[in-house]
Amino acid sequence: MKMRITVSIGIFAVMALSNAIVPVLPVYAHGSTWQGAIYAAYFLGAFLSTLPGGIWSDRYGRVPVIRAGLALTLLSGILLSLYTGPVIVIILRCIEGLGAGFFVAAAMSYVNSLPDHEKMSGYFMAMLNVGLVLGLIAAGWLAVHLNLPVSGIILFTALTAITCGISLFIKESPLSRICSSTGIFTVLLKDYRWLWYSSIILVGITGVATSLYPKFSGGSPDIVGIWIAGMSVATIIAVIISSRIPLSPVATLRWSAVLMTVAVIITFLSPLGFILIGALAGVIMIAQMAFLSEVHDHQGLVMGLFSTSSYLGMTLLPVVAGFIADTAGFPAGFFFAAVCAVSVAITIGWCGCHVYHPAK
């Protein structure tokens, strides 16, 4: 029970801190390219650390990796409270992402190994998105009313410090240590390659919408925070519902990709599009996690690959879309995201995904 509570509170704190900078991105940089870089740097760090974090979770246990992730997140939060220059903020966001990657890979490995993983994955993803929502809303509100852009970062750094302290007292039941071989890694990478691609694109699109909207809308930080938070609120509702419904991964991803194309277009016209993007993201992630739970061994490796693909999308797509928006205008930036979603609807049909039980 202590482990479940720590994982749930931890994912909330890590995600809230990660989003605390979003409503005030224009304070740190003026152009969409720089803002996209600051936003994406976090996901670059997470992209680099999730796979090692998953492998180390299999090899050394999940608790040490969870503690390391929280410690790095705490350190980056403290430093982000002190520095605001765009270059150093990009570096610190990358460090923050490294910590998040370690934590997320180990925590998801734990969740997906539980007997009630479907239900627990719904709660886990809900807490993740509650953190994203409150990180946006609280940071935007505090920035306006306290006239201190880093106030949200300070708040959630304090919460991370508390969670980091709690993690020192958790223990996990002994588990067999599994050393993931290169052969198993190659097989999983190949067999699920279109599933990984769908994660890169469909999760990455949420980052495109989030990073483009502050400048595109021209709204104040508190209003922008509420608009973007609507995406995570929709995800919370979607993950709780979809975690209780058996989903066919290929069919779910194909239709979600088609609807994501529509959602991107709606978002360009109205912030209501965030609701549809968020709901689709929730359905997509639950379907992918439920399917990958069938790989009973090497859950650390599988969740590491899953998180890595998601973070790769959040790293690359916002930067590319930001560059396109700066050079060709915001319509082109949103059109790029829509085309990417269409590509998933086409390629997911080529997926050779099957229930696979790699040998130890």
pLDDT of residue 355: 46
**Residue with more model confidence, 69 or 119:** 69
User: Of the given ranges (32-36, 125-129, 191-195, 209-213), which has the lowest mean pLDDT?
Assistant: 32-36
Domain-embedded: residue 116: yes
Is 83 contained in some domain?
yes
* Cβ neighbours for 201, distance < 8 A, ≥ 6 positions apart: 257, 313, 317, 340, 341, 343, 344
The two tokens of residue 270 are 């109205």
Between CA 135 and CA 311 the distance in angstroms is: 19
**Is 355 domain-assigned?**
no
Looking at residue 354, what is its pLDDT?
Answer: 52
> Residue 233, CB half-sphere, CA atoms under 13 Å: how many?
13
Q: CA distances (Å), 15 to each of 11, 95, 282, in order? A: 6, 14, 15
pTM of the model: 0.77
Decide: helix, strand or coil at residue 308.
helix
> pLDDT at position 122, please?
85
**Amino acid symbol at 271:** P
CATH code, 136: 1.20.1250.20
Q: What angle do CA 341, 346, 200 make, to 5 degrees?
A: 45
CA–CA separation, 97 and 44 (whole Å): 7
Percent of the chain surpassing pLDDT 70: 92
Q: Comparing 220 with 255, which gets the higher pLDDT?
A: 255
Is residue 357 in a domain? no
Residue 69 burial by Cβ neighbours in a 10 Å radius (0-12, 13-18, 19+): buried
Does the residue 256 lie in any domain?
yes
299 pLDDT higher than 50? yes
Rg, C-alpha atoms of the chain: 19
Q: Using 50, 70 and 90 to split pLDDT, how confident is the model at 140? A: confident
Q: Residue 181 has what pLDDT?
A: 54
Question: Which amino acid, 327?
Answer: T
Per the domain annotation, does 312 fall within a domain?
A: yes
Residue 217's nearest CA partner among 265, 260, 270 is 270
**Total domain count, the chain:** 1
Indicate whether 323 belongs to any domain: yes
Q: For the stretch 258-292, what's the b/e string if a residue is b when 16 or more beta carbons lie within 10 angstroms of its beta carbon? A: ebbbebbebbbeebebbbbbbbbbbbbbbbbbbbb
Q: What are the distances in angstroms from CA 187 to CA 272, 306, 312, 354?
A: 41, 14, 20, 12
Asked, for residue 174, whether it belongs to a domain, the answer is no
**Alpha carbons 98 and 110: distance in angstroms, whole number:** 19
Per-residue model confidence (pLDDT) at position 249? 76
Residues 77 and 153 sit within 8 Å (Cβ to Cβ): yes
Give the residue numbers spanning the domain of 256.
Answer: 2-169+180-350
Task: Work out whether the CA dihedral 146, 152, 155, 161 comes out positive or negative.
Answer: negative
> What is the distance between the alpha carbons of residues 199 and 314, in angstroms, rounded to a whole number?
10
Residues with Cβ within 8 Å of residue 20, at least 6 apart in sequence: 135, 136, 138, 139, 152, 153, 155, 156
Tokens of 139: 């940071």
